[in-house]
Structure 1
Amino acid sequence: MFHWRAGILPGVSAAFTNNGAGNLALHVGDDPEAVRQRRSRLEQEIGVGAGSLRFMNQVHGTDVVLMDSVSPAPEADAMVSRGTPLAVMVADCIPVILAGASADGPVLAVAHAGRPGVAHGVIPAAVERMASLGATDIRAWLGPSICGRCYEVPGAMQEEVVAAVPATRSTTSWGTPGLDLPAGARSQLENAGVMVEYSGPCTLETPSQYSYRRDRHTGRFAGLVWCHD
């Protein structure tokens, strides 16, 4: 069910699911009831209340929404909370988990960082929102995502993204223009003073992870962060 799972701060855990957890997205043509059942099993597995895990309707933007236990699913690409469990879904984009401490307890965040999100700054926006809630010593965990050796893009698109985030420039393993989104994310986090504690493997090269580049009809796996006793 999990590609990776760990306690990341006192009383806080994070995980990235794999194909064993099944598709967790409602927007890919899967049976909605089957998706809800998978989400429910996931909540049971990580020990959070039924229906408490908050998901987003992701749109490749930069909006960051503050969530609590009754917040509906927002149209956004990053969420922040003071302990409400959060989820981000991907299948090549970077699932970013962030956590920090504040005087009022842990501050949690997730971000959906694909090409537009990295280029337009969804990760720095999430860090800034966390800091506005008093979060300090913010750390990041980057889940499985497509790597710079595998993510081919047209030359003009490469130059557009590289102009915004120079660290994204890459060349694919077959010699064409590429984008290294994880490198770009790490550079943005470093500039924001955030330490990256973990970076996952390439989704395209890892059969146990969903990859849109491998299969356009694929499901979505999730990055999760939650509080526990």
Structure 2
Amino acid sequence: MTDYDVLRVFCGPGGRCGNELGVVRDGSVMPEADERQMFAGKLGFSETVFVDDPERGIIDIYTPTLRLPFAGHPCVGTAWLLDVPELVTPAGVVGARLDGEFSWIEARPEWVPPRTLRQYGTAAEVDSLAVPTPGEWVYAWAWEDEAAGRVRARAFPGRDDGIAEDEATGAAALLLTHQLGRALNITQGAGSQILTAPQPEGWVEVGGRVFLER
């Protein structure tokens, strides 16, 4: 069995919740894309990362059924694990930094695959949503406290790969931040926390807590 780490990314206060992430630190043990895709499907995490150069931060990201040029929680988690100032993804170079208990990345909204950002009137409406049938990728959100930038969100990838709801989704949070043009404090899923902040020239920072599960 290939060695891999399991992280929880975007954990809430006290380390609860967070989205699990698999990271294969030595990507050379599985160099072919079809091997990686099969392994990611076997692990069943919303994303699995293969590290092709730990010093330069070159990574390759897979869901259980497809390869991604960029994704938020894999970049936040892998940057924390490798302790590097940047990651190199097929989409572009992702800046990375640590600030106290939070791991941050800086990325661009145009790197994110299409998402439907669907606003609801109240957080309670978001909480009561049923998981939709596979189809479009939906980020359902509502203001908990608009003045404070606090958001309640849930994510439905719309794929038929066993991930009906994503616990914490940095890329969708990045898109929402870009659309609203302001910093956000997002509670997603069962209690994960995502922090975001717009940056100059269209960049967006996304941050959260990361814990090593095993």
Q: TM-score, normalised by structure 2?
A: 0.27
Q: TM-score, normalised by structure 1?
A: 0.26
More strand, by proportion: 2
| Higher RCO, Cα 8 Å, sep 6+ | 1
